[in-house]
Structure 1
């Protein structure tokens, strides 16, 4: 249903470091680089990061949550480690989430702008 998603970011260079590292274990890479935007995906861009003219951090009250599929539990672990090592913050360590399903394995992080990200495998 959704073709792509765009997020406004305050510091495109910081976002590039974070997303290059955090998305690589999930099989995504930077496919587009411009002065004011970055595009990530596997076969085509599905996530755009846009340098905003009026930078504002993500509103944690908005409920916005971006969940990405991972190819396996090792990838979920690597996503979380890379996110924390490249400017992100922990928002839930890798592990089983029995409330979501008996085999639902996920990790949660926030990016440098405060957007909430999840990587999971079920």
Structure 2
């Protein structure tokens, strides 16, 4: 349904460090970069970041978040550790969310601009 999503960030360099680490743990990388934009994906850009003076204000009650597919439960763990290690905030550590489904393994963080992010793996084992 969606081809890509774009968000505004307050600092491209800070965002690059954060997203290179967090999304890199999931097998995604920066495929496009210039002074004001970054584009992340696996084979094509699906997540764009653009430098803006005023990013959308963080609102934990909005239910807005971005969920990234993870290839394994270990990569969900790595995503969470990398995101927190690069200035993100914990918003729910890695683990099963059985109320979402029997194999819903996810972790939740907030990026340095206040965007809520999730990494999710549906695989039934720790692999």
TM-score, normalising length from structure 2?
0.91
Does the residue aligned with 1:61 lie in a helix, a strand or coil?
A: coil
Unmatched segments (≥5 aa) in structure 2: 123-127
CA deviation vs aligned residue, 1:35-63 (integer Å, no higher than 9, x gap): 11100000010000000133454333332
The aligned counterpart of 2:125 is none
Hey, what does 1:99 align to over in structure 2?
Answer: 99
Contact preservation (8 Å) 2:68, 2:120: yes
* Aligned residue number for residue 89 of structure 1: 89
Instruction: Judge conservation of contact 1:105–1:120 (CA < 8 Å) in 2.
Output: yes
SS at match of 2:93: strand
1:39 match: 39
Decide whether aligned partners of structure 1 residues 43 and 91 sit closer, same or farther in structure 2, where only a CA change above 3 A counts.
same
- Runs (5+) with no aligned partner, structure 1: none
Give, in whole Å, the separation in 2 of the partners of 1:70 and 1:31: 18
In structure 1, the partner of 2:78 is 78
Relative to total residues, which structure has the larger helix share, 1 or 2? 1
Which structure is higher in strand share? Answer: 1
Aligned-partner Cα distance in 2 for 1:31–1:119 = 19
3-state DSSP of counterpart to 1:120: strand
TM-score, normalisation: structure 1: 0.95
Q: CA deviation at 1:27?
A: 1.0
Moved over 6 A (4+): none
Distance 1:28 1:65 in 2: 18
